[in-house]
Amino acid sequence: MVDGKEASSESAAKRPDVSPASAPARPATPKPDAQPRRKAKDSGGHIITALFVIAAVIAGYWLHTGGHGRLGRAPVHHSLREVVKELLHPDKGILAADESPSTLGKKLKVPNKPATRREWRRTLLTAPGLEQHTSGVILHEETFAALGPELAELRARGVALGIKLDTGTKPLPPAKAGETITLGLDGLEARCAEFRDKHGATFAKWRSVFRVGKHTPSAGAVRRNSADLAAFAAAAQKCGLVPIVEPEVLAEGDHDIQRAAGAAARVLKGLFRALQQRGDVDLQALLLKAALVTPGRTAPQQAPPAEVATATLRVLLSSVPKAVAGIVFLSGGQSEAAATANLLALGRLVKARNAARAKAEKPPLPWALSFSFGRALTDSALAAWQAAGSRDAQPQAVAKAQDLLLERLTLNAMAQRGEGAPGQGEGEGAAKPKRKKAKKPKKAQQGGGGVEAERAAGESGAAEKARDGAAGAEAGAQ
Ligand SMILES: O=P(O)(O)OC[C@H]1O[C@](O)(COP(=O)(O)O)[C@@H](O)[C@@H]1O
């Protein structure tokens, strides 16, 4: 090997005589042994320049993308951001009453007929005082068709209406893995416009489903469902509806909480990658609907609420961009008491972290956290509603169901802020909400408002509601 030193002395030996006498007019040539040093100096300079350029490109990209790493400039939907803020009211949550007929059928002990579903939903949606702790309700399209006047009244009471726009799932090959894709992208824009214009919906929901198994959620299932959720979000925003994207990681199975957390993080990261890659979705104008991170339902060891809260927050912090305005939780088949206890533990954890951050002069954690439970708000109400043994008992059953719904809403509204005692509400009547007398819709009171408002006015009295909503099994059945 020839090192630098040897190379310079060798070249010096071969050098011709360049004394001033023999070559007076030639410009001074640089010393040959200076060249490697200059080269080294030059390449050092190049590296520094390159580092500067790379840093400038990264900073420019980051600034350009608003700090969210989003390619392209996502649109800003100011009016949708306002709707999001209202949905995230700190004292309210979103009631999920959008089960497809087959899902609701599994919970009903009475014949699953359109009229039964209508009467059950009428019971929920006409609950006096519902608006106290309900910012919005997610509905199935059949409810928009069946309960127009009741929905008009709800809107007049300040409750936003949301439409479930996915149309169910179908198996994703290989079917034996039990994975699915969600249907409903065909004709989506027209359906968005219909529910916005004809029915006054201001938000929409799309649910994808993921199973935790040995090889699932698979990368293919995450990619495909994330792309479809992102396509839904873009279409909804374009048409003027706030999208709720719901990648539900099911609790079915005997997996432990670490496994659930890993699956949830993979799914959420996949979703936000897909949303950011599209570049046409305003993250501040959407809501994420996610499951609390729990062990599988048949896991030998269940987790206490504090562990659920820690795992959930850790997954969210690692996977959800700060720009997302809010996260609402589904109940995923947890009991009413468990869902509230877990939400309370999470609310307390967030409260404690934010207090510590405020002390350290740091901003609070990103996103508002709230609930969008289905079963965990309505299970006991449904049981009470179905318990009416006779037509005469139905008004009482309706009133009882409405009270139980309000009780769950009250407890969860407190829990999301970290308020309330663990175990509160586990017994019947533990939190007695004040039963408010229903107001007549404004338009109808003023004598205006057209046919819908007139019909709504006709339905609004508590007594009439009890009679009309005497859903009970028999009255409801066609
Ligand atoms: O099977 P479907 O019809 O998609 O509905 C499933 C249900 O899951 C939810 O997304 C969450 O409900 P839960 O809180 O009961 O888990 C609801 O909004 C919806 O009613």
Residues in the ligand 1 pocket, defined by CB under 6 Å? 96, 98-100, 103, 138, 207, 246, 330-333, 373-376
Rounded CA-CA distance 124/287 in Å is 23
DSSP letter assigned to residue 16: P
Q: What is the average pLDDT across 363-374?
A: 98
Q: What pLDDT is attached to residue 28? A: 47
H-state helical runs in 108-241: 114-125, 141-146, 148-156, 188-197, 219-239
Confidence of residue 41 (pLDDT cuts 50, 70, 90): low
Pairing assessment for the beta strands 326-330 and 93-97 based on DSSP bridges: unpaired
Q: What is the pLDDT of residues 140-194, one digit of tens each?
A: 999 999 999 999 999 999 999 999 999 999 999 999 999 999 999 999 999 999 9
Confidence of residue 46 (pLDDT cuts 50, 70, 90): confident
The residue whose CB lies within 8 Å of the most ligand 1 atoms, and thus the one to mutate among 94, 95, 102, 103, is 103
Count of beta carbons in the 10 Å neighbourhood of residue 22: 9
Domain ranges of the chain: 78-417
Q: What pLDDT is attached to residue 19? A: 38
CATH number of 78-417: 3.20.20.70
Query: Which value does ipTM take for this structure?
Result: 0.94
Which atom of ligand 1 is nearest to 339's Cα? 14
Instruction: Specify whether 109 is catalytic.
Output: no
Q: What is the pLDDT of residues 100-125, one digit of tens each?
A: 999 999 999 999 999 999 999 999 99
Confidence of residue 52 (pLDDT cuts 50, 70, 90): confident
DSSP letter assigned to residue 283: G
Catalytic member of 164, 289, 400, 443: 289
Q: What pLDDT is attached to residue 433? A: 52
Rounded CA-CA distance 328/79 in Å is 20
Confirm if 417 and 411 have CB atoms less than 8 A apart: no
Q: Is the pTM of this model over 0.90?
A: no
